[in-house]
Structure 1
Amino acid sequence: MKFKTIHVAWTLAALVCLTAANLLHASSHREAPLIANDPLADNTDLYAFRSPDNPDMITIIANYIPAELPHGGPNYYTFGENIRYEIHIDNDASNHGDEIIYRFTFNRVNQDPTTFFNIRLGAQNRLTTYTCERSTDGGLTWMVIAENGVVPPPNIGPRSIESGVGLSTTYEDLFLQAINTASTGEKIFCGPVDDPFFVDLGGVFDLGDMPRQNGAPRDGLA
């Protein structure tokens, strides 16, 4: 299998907490024509901030896959299996190279090939797991710090998630169970989340009709 490597770079004083997410409704960063043809590899936004619950920790959120829509079934959006998602951290701008690099690779398994439904009877036909590696020498060597991390499925609906013919759980529990602790101490989450932005994309690209001349603005990301 050939891999494409996607780099996301950031400068930080320290990194303790890492979050990577793909979006159910991601930002519209589809201006670059080449990456628009490869949406699974399209990193839309990167956030880095001191964690509000612990100022000694830094949270990094890397978002991928722009402009997802809720009616994407049965083949809902997910991370690409032939893509290396990387976050590069440069703690010392005076030195060449990156002090820390995180690499994520993903794998999908069809637990129930007898149905086209994404979830049925406790099984998923697009169950996604990941491996996270870390390099501290500019990518020369790598150490696996998390294996078989679980990506929660899309929140398809109560029958698929909560009922006895689905997963018999709550989506909140699926989300919390997907938070993984790496062997080196980082907290990791990979999975679908809602986009925090409000932007009227339809108005923006309709010759800059923002605010709209007729009618209220419409959130194109939620």
Structure 2
Amino acid sequence: MKNLKTVLGVGILAVASFFAIAADHIDAPAVQGGTSDITDFYAFQGEDTNNLVFVANLQGLLSPSSTGDATFSENVLVEINIDNSGDNVEDLVIQAIARDGKMYFFGPVAPSQTGLNSTIQTNASASGVVDITSYDSSATIANNAGMSFFAGPRDDPFFMDFAQYSAIIGGTATGFNNPGADTFAGSNVMSIVIEVPKAMIGGLGTINTWVETKTK
């Protein structure tokens, strides 16, 4: 991991507070259709209420036939930013980057720099590594220092009825159907998941958190 250097931010998806979801499926021109495209970011309390879970999903709308060939780019850093002081500047980051079939995690750790440029914090005392789960395989989960890690393809959990949404926007419908039609049914994403003890995050109970993908 000594060869990991500085990378440049190209995509951002933001979400505020502990319990929130943000979604953005393939409409950012700079990353559309690429391995750095962020589809969703989830932040929520874990089953163990002393923990927080962060989920970053990339590469949306993968068909089952193409998912087996989908990979995490070794040139793309996924960085979860955490602001626990309310100034909208990251106080901590959790970084994830793929190498040779594994996903390496660094943090939570104070970044050496803030903003669009990042240096991978290879000297972070909190870290982990997990084998990237292959398609149609049981999830491989690694644990270290109270944290849990996963990386690999998963069914897209985001639900949206785009046809009905378009009808509402177009004035031909007044609301969503119950049940609606899931536009993303049968499509997959590449997921990165980390569960972290709240004690490692700090703050007074509310955080701002957002995810970025950054390329060399």
Normalised to the residue count of structure 1, the TM-score between the two structures is 0.59
After superposition, the CA RMSD in angstroms is 3.3
Q: State the match for 1:163 in structure 2.
A: none
- Residue 138 (structure 1) shift: 2.4
Name the counterpart of 1:67.
Answer: 61
Q: Per-residue CA shift, 1:56-112, capped at 9, x if unaligned?
A: 21111111111111111662x121111111111111114x7422211111124xxxx
Q: Which residue number in structure 2 is paired with residue 197 of structure 1?
A: 158
Shift in alpha-carbon separation, 1:219–1:58, aligned structure 2, 3 A: same
Equivalent residue number for residue 52 of structure 2:
58
CA deviation string 1:148-191 (max 9, x = no partner): x1011011xxxxxxxxxxxxxxx3xx31xx11113x32111111
Shift of 1:137: 2.5
CA contact (8 A) 2:67 2:153 kept: no
- For the residue of structure 1 that corresponds to 2:30, the secondary structure is helix
Seq. identity, %:
22
* In 1: Cα distance, 2:98 partner to 2:142 partner: 15
Question: Is 1:98 paired with 2:56?
Answer: no
Deviating more after overlay: 79-88 vs 130-139 = 130-139
| Residue aligning to 1:46 | 41
Partners of 1:43 and 1:62 within 8 A in 2:
yes
From 95, 113, 128, the equivalent of 1:146 is 128
Aligned residue for 1:54, secondary structure, equals coil
CA distance in 1, matches of 2:94, 2:41: 14
**Alpha-carbon separation, structure 2, partners of 1:56 and 1:217:** 35
Query: Which residue is 2:199 aligned to?
Result: none
Structure 1 gap segments, 5+ residues each: 14-26, 109-127, 156-170
Larger Rg: 1
Per-residue deviation, residues 100-132 of structure 1 (Å, max 9, x unmatched): 211111124xxxxxxxxxxxxxxxxxxx21111
Paired position in structure 1 for 2:141: 179
Larger relative contact order (Cα-Cα within 8 Å, sequence gap ≥ 6): 2
Shift of 1:203: 6.0
Amino acid at match of 2:81: H
Aligned to 1:34: 30
Alpha-carbon distance in structure 2 between the residues aligned to 1:219 and 1:10: 23
TM-score, normalised to structure 2, is 0.61
SS state of the match for residue 110, structure 2? Answer: coil
Query: Which runs of 5 or more residues in structure 2 are unaligned?
Result: 114-120, 186-216
Higher share in strand: 2
